[in-house]
Amino acid sequence: MTKLAVVGATGLVGEKVLEVLDRRNVPFDELVLFSSPRSAGKQIEFQGKTYTVEALTEEKTDGNFDYVIMSAGGGTSEKFAPLFEKHGAIVIDNSSQWRMHEDIDLIVPEVNVPKLNRKIIANPNCSTIQSVVPLKPLLDQFGLKRVAYTTYQAVSGSGLAGREDLANGEKGEAPKNYPHPIYNNVLPHIDVFLEDGYTKEEQKMIDETRKILDQPSLNVTATCVRVPVQDSHSVHINVTLDKEATVEDIRNLFNEDDRVVLVDNVENNEYPLAIHSTGKDEVFVGRIRKDDSLDNTFHIWCTSDNLLKGASLNAVQVLEQVLELNKK
Ligand code: 11C
């Protein structure tokens, strides 16, 4: 008997977690859905059965859970993930709370495998996940010297509040979530500012890239930008390789690697687009060009659905990866 809990089941990511569990037919016997007290009592249909969402309490973490997927924010994860862990569950956590703890695995299944020193596994930040997927084959084939990201991130990265600011901004209303209007605007500001002038989102991309790729001294920098797009993040990746490569080498590598989809046919105006990535599981790459301002350096444009590969799908893939590891 496998018992699974989904925490944050009524949120944007939680809803997608259920959708992905269903369509990938992930095997488990019992499901319990948790939310904040505000959303408790809501009914959710899953595979022909109606579930009533329960408010998560400390006592309920002792419910013989084997696996828990949490998408309820850092505070909830800080408090409840160790309690679920203490009672024997493997917790896959979507928040940033545990990602950089030394003994916590930070996993993108296309890239790395959990060591499970702790039973909490962290799901990375959405813009990081889609970026390390194409970086991994480049690392293995050519080595990496430097990575510079510029992101163009969708409002759904901020949950329902981001969606509301975009919709209300179109009607002329002031923003409630962002410090400035996102409608008709571009904000070079995601998450809080740190002392050095970077944002926390930028620092997350830097730290998480190094940890997932197991390249602690890789040179990484990032500028993270919110754009008035509903779903799917776009990331410009400027990458300097260790070994020499041509644009053709990189195109061939991506063409042969089933972890990414190459869309790179500029003669027909074909390149990855947020609107084409939305609702899809894949990570799309294209616009591959040589950056002649530096040796061995290339531009890559990368899009992916931030709520799927960037959050729910990656979490479910981690669950599948752990189920597979536990079979062995
Ligand atoms: C955004 N990347 O687009 C953020 C959302 O650390 O999991 C995800 C925040 C996180 O605003």
> Residue 58: pLDDT above 80?
yes
**If pLDDT is split at 50, 70 and 90, which confidence band does 216 have?**
very high
Instruction: Assign 205 to helix, strand or coil.
Output: helix
Annotated ligand binding at 156? The verdict is yes
**If pLDDT is split at 50, 70 and 90, which confidence band does 134 have?**
very high
Distances (CA, A) of 239 to 92, 107, 202: 30, 22, 16
Q: Which of 288, 318, 301 is nearest to 130 (CA)?
A: 301
Give the torsion sign (CA, 7, 8, 9, 12).
negative
Q: Does ligand 1 lie within 6 Å of residue 69's CB atom?
A: no
Q: What residue type is assigned to position 238 of the chain?
A: N
Q: Does ligand 1 lie within 6 Å of residue 153's CB atom?
A: yes
Q: CA 172 to CA 183: how far, in whole Å?
A: 9
Q: Does ligand 1 lie within 6 Å of residue 123's CB atom?
A: no
Q: CA 223 to CA 232: how far, in whole Å?
A: 17
Distance 61 CA to ligand 1 centre (A): 26
Return the residue whose CA atom lies nearest to atom 9 of ligand 1.
125
pTM of structure: 0.97
Task: Say what the ipTM of the complex is.
Answer: 0.97
pLDDT at position 26 is 97
233 is catalytic: yes
Distance 188 CA to ligand 1 centre (A): 14
Q: Which of 196, 216, 195 is nearest to 207 (CA)?
A: 216
pLDDT tens per residue across span 139-157:
999 999 999 999 999 999 9
Q: CA 284 to CA 244: how far, in whole Å?
A: 23
